[in-house]
Structure 1
Amino acid sequence: MSSVGLCTSLIPEAKAVLDLVDKCPKHPKKGDFPVIVIEGLDATGKTTVTQSVKESLNAVLLRSPPACISEWRKTFDDKPNHIRRAFYALGNYLVALEIAKASIKSPVIVDRYWHSTAAYSIATEISGKKQNLPPEHHEVYQWPEDLLKPDLVFLLTVSPEERIRRLQGRGLEKTKEETELEANSLFCQKVEESYKRMENPECQEVDASPSREEEMH
């Protein structure tokens, strides 16, 4: 039995996701309006920034994985790494179709896209310190040729101390990766360094740390 067939027999939701992907038009084209992606580790302020940019540009806000498969996210988060990563990778191709449709009529803001999938995959597969990551300009940092490309990608960064403070203040149930990011600074460093090595398009780094005035309130 093929790996896909085995996966769909063991995880019924996998067939539903694959059926959705099979129905997607190949190579959807972006409309004339700009597509801006906001990336970053958990608790770097993505929700606040995406909402703010959405309102200022009167844009459509999309997320990856998209709503059409988000109900199965927890199911795949509990699976082995390669299955979980495949779910998020396929989610990018589904959200690409939504981006193509929305960008015909208005600007589009995307909360995470391909760079997140790639950065987390690389950090998971590469053991040890960030020095063990593939060298700059390696093919793993290149955008897939068959995936709709955004116009701009912003990478939000904050200090490790500030990010952990925000995570601890959430009081929400964490995914496995959020827990690992909080506990494992090496993993966190590998994810962020992978983000910074992405190319075509590269990530434009933005310091999302609070200002001194905000810290005083």
Structure 2
Amino acid sequence: MISQVNIFFQCLWIIIEILLTSCYNDTLNPEYFRKRGFFLNHTDVLHYFQNQSHTDDMVIRQLMYAYRQDCRYDRKIPNPAYDRRPFIVFEGNHRTSRKIVARRFAKVFGGSYLETPPKCLIALRGLFPVNSMERRGYFALSSYALALTVKRVWNHFPIVANGYWFEHHSYSLYKEFGQDLPPEGSFIYDWPKDLLEPDFTFYINFPDNLHYQGTERPRSSWKHVTNEVFNRLNLKNSYIVNTEDGFNSVLDEIEVVLKAKLSARFPGISYKFQTVAAFDRFSRHSRPLKAYENFYSPPQYNNSRQYLTKVL
């Protein structure tokens, strides 16, 4: 009797191993992700929206027109100069904190501040149903549109982006898998080969105990999952910054990290931030840099905003 029980459990364990191995192999297959609404490259996005089933969809037609005309997809991109400026991205698990840090960093760093979706596509954001394939495709296309903007500007100014590819990618993984993410080492954590990769990515971690009303989230929550996805992401240069000590401390830490990581690659950049406002948690008195304070502005433009208005 005992031997029969042992045989039963051994067979059960073998079946479980086979099922787990099958699932693991599936998550290493690109088609597995494409069928579930993941866009792995630019071709995937264009193919989806140019599919015959979407040719009569007015919203999709507006999206593709905006991408080709307003985002200037078909226009020639200038070759990067040998002394181009860095492209720095801010991601995170709390949008408000991420936006505050990114905007204030752009001011003290003298950079052009961009957001995802970019200006050329932002008007269409509310036209796609939540959690739909079309909305996923819209955000994937927005990443490539932002990359086009960066390539047109980085010969003149550093680029600071509030959000990029990671946010919508981690959210898609969360909606599809929850906390049972694909195994570490899966290609799904690789940066898309045809998408411009940032020179440096900062992940702004906003702990739950800093909320106005403290909260403890379950391990299955989006916040914990996106933290884990970022830890598994294969990025060349990235750093996690915690906000417990306030935004002044965050900017100080960013200054130290950039000086250590990028000074050799971009020797012409000054990594000594010129703070022009008191960056405490509730400060609303920050102001734009004057022309003489923005040490990257060429003489013919007062600031990066005027340049962006001219070229975009």
TM-score by length of 2: 0.55
Q: CA deviation at 1:105?
A: 0.3
2:230 to 187, 190, 195: 195
1:24 to 46, 53, 73: 73
Q: CA deviation at 1:188?
A: 2.4
Aligned to 2:102: 50
Q: CA deviation at 1:198?
A: 1.2
Asked whether the equivalents of residues 90 and 162 of structure 2 are also in contact (C-alpha less than 8 Å), the reply is yes
User: Residue type of the partner of 1:17?
Assistant: L
Matched, 1:15 2:61: yes
Distance across 1 between alignment mates of 2:74 and 2:185: 30
Gapped regions of structure 2 (runs ≥ 5): 1-47, 249-279, 282-312
Asked whether the equivalents of residues 196 and 202 of structure 1 are also in contact (C-alpha less than 8 Å), the reply is no
Distance across 1 between alignment mates of 2:233 and 2:80: 21
Distance 1:186 1:60, change over 3 A: same
Q: Relative to total residues, which structure has the larger helix share, 1 or 2? A: 1
Asked whether the equivalents of residues 54 and 109 of structure 1 are also in contact (C-alpha less than 8 Å), the reply is yes
Aligned to 1:139: 187
1:109 to 157, 160, 164: 160
Q: CA deviation at 1:26?
A: 9.1
Aligned to 2:268: none
Q: CA deviation at 1:164?
A: 7.1
Q: CA deviation at 1:73?
A: 1.0
RMSD: 3.1
Report the secondary structure of 2:183's partner residue: coil
Q: For residues 33-84 of structure 1, what are the alpha-carbon distances to aligned partners after superposition, in whole Å with 9 as ceiling and x for unaligned?
A: 00000001234611211111111111000111101111111222x3443221
Asked whether the equivalents of residues 123 and 194 of structure 1 are also in contact (C-alpha less than 8 Å), the reply is no
Asked whether the equivalents of residues 27 and 147 of structure 1 are also in contact (C-alpha less than 8 Å), the reply is no
Gapped regions of structure 1 (runs ≥ 5): 169-181
Distance 1:193 1:30, change over 3 A: farther
Aligned to 1:173: none
Larger radius of gyration: 2
1:154 to 202, 222, 225: 202
How many residues align? The count is 194
Report the secondary structure of 1:206's partner residue: strand
Q: CA deviation at 1:119?
A: 0.9
TM-score by length of 1: 0.77
